[in-house]
Amino acid sequence: MESLKVYILVANRIYNDGIRSGLGLAVENHYAYPVIMNGEFPNMTEYMTENIAWIADMEGQVYSCGAEAPTDMPEGSEIENISLEELGEKMRDADVIIPFGMPKGSHEPPAACGG
Amino acid sequence: MSDEKMKILQVYRSEPTSDIETLVGVLNRDRDADEFKLYLDQPNYDVLVQKIYAADKTVCWW
Amino acid sequence: MAADANKFGIFVTCPQNMRHILGLTQAAIRAGKEVMIFFTFKSVHLTKSPEFWELAQLIKTENLAICTDSYICEGFDHEKDIPRGLIDKQMRTQAFHGAVLEQCEKYIVM
């Protein structure tokens, strides 16, 4: 099958598993572009940074839209900044667009979420 | 398929945010665009399936 | 997508749209389509809703699966607590999502 360009939009901090779903498609020979929206970044565990690097190895890319990407990512797992307009233009060429999980909550998480 | 003739369907599970409206504006540009609001009461799923099959591409927003 | 026009795919990523998933599946079947669905991440909680069993009765075994890793991550036991309506071979990996994209000409995210 032809390789598809797949954008996975993550708008809610809980749903960064969209990055793993992107990797799942990358290993199926698709181009995966997970996009973390408005600073809803995951905890950058070793597992997460390895997944981000693996997506890049498979000719995909993880983007940050609406907030500056972390600058202290391990080599090979860099997250690229992209504006909303640039993202829209890139997604015009997408085969599949996946708004993943849930939208962003309207309140900051309470301390109870921290653990 | 020429870009101009692409039929794109935007499906909304909740009221679109300004970010979504911006992205949809770019995605729909110069295309034959349609939409379906799932967040309204009693959506007609038969109509939604018809729209999906009429479209070249469907995006279902949060 | 070079895929089967008769197949309709649903990729479920959110735990709160069971009404839409069931409604869409029933409508697609009425339209003569074969439906293929993959549940991932927190959407696996939907397997515990009464409508999930109803959904599972509408879909061929080979066309319905959930992500085993997600199920385990959410605290469920993937061997002793297989969701009602599924059998063990429907506990799959993200590769099943790839199969949905490969086989289904039309596709929606829920």
Q: What ipTM was assigned to the predicted interfaces of this complex?
A: 0.94
Per-residue pLDDT of A19-35, as tens digits, reads 999 999 999 999 999 99
Q: Which of residues 65-104 of A touch B (CB under 8 A)?
A: 66, 84-85, 87-89, 91-92, 97, 99, 101-103
User: Which of A100, A92, A93 has its CA nearest to residue A23?
Assistant: A100
Domain that holds residue B55: 3-61
* pLDDT bracket for residue A114 (50, 70, 90): confident
Q: Which residues are CB-contacts of B30 (< 8 A; sequence separation ≥ 6)? A: B3, B4
Q: CB of A91 within 8 A of CB of B27?
A: yes
Q: What is the pLDDT of residue A65?
A: 98
C4-109: CATH topology is Hypothetical Protein Ychn; Chain: A, (3.40.1260)
**B6 Cβ under 8 Å from any chain A Cβ:** no
* Prediction pTM value: 0.95
Q: Where are the domains of chain A?
A: 5-114
Residues A57-78 have a mean pLDDT of 96
Q: What is the pLDDT of residue A113?
A: 84
Q: What is the pLDDT of residue B2?
A: 53
Chains touching C by CB (3 or more pairs below 8 Å)? A, B
Quote the tokens at residue B8.
């794109």
Amino acid A38 reads N
Residue C41 has its nearest CB partner, among A95, A99, A101, at: A101
User: Which of C97, C93, C41, C95 has its CA nearest to residue C71?
Assistant: C41
A5-114: CATH topology is Hypothetical Protein Ychn; Chain: A, (3.40.1260)
Per-residue pLDDT of C100-110, as tens digits, reads 999 999 999 99
> What is the overall mean pLDDT for chain A?
95
A64 has a pLDDT exceeding 70: yes
C8 has a pLDDT exceeding 60: yes
Q: Which residue has the tokens 């999502």?
A: C97
Query: Considering only B39-43, C29-33, C41-45, C76-80, which range has the smallest mean pLDDT?
Result: B39-43
Which helix (DSSP H) or strand (DSSP E) does residue A98 occupy? strand A96-100
Beta-bridge mates of residue B42? none
* pLDDT bracket for residue B1 (50, 70, 90): low
Higher pLDDT among residues A99 and A114, named by residue = A99
Q: What is the pLDDT of residue B41?
A: 86
* pLDDT bracket for residue A51 (50, 70, 90): very high
**A35 Cβ under 8 Å from any chain B Cβ:** no
B4 has a pLDDT exceeding 80: no
Number of domains in chain B: 1
Is C24's CB within 8 Å of B53's CB? no
Residues B11-32 have a mean pLDDT of 97
Is C101's CB within 8 Å of A30's CB? yes
Residues A65-74 have a mean pLDDT of 96
Residue B45 has its nearest CB partner, among C14, C26, C33, at: C26
Quote the tokens at residue A61.
């890319």
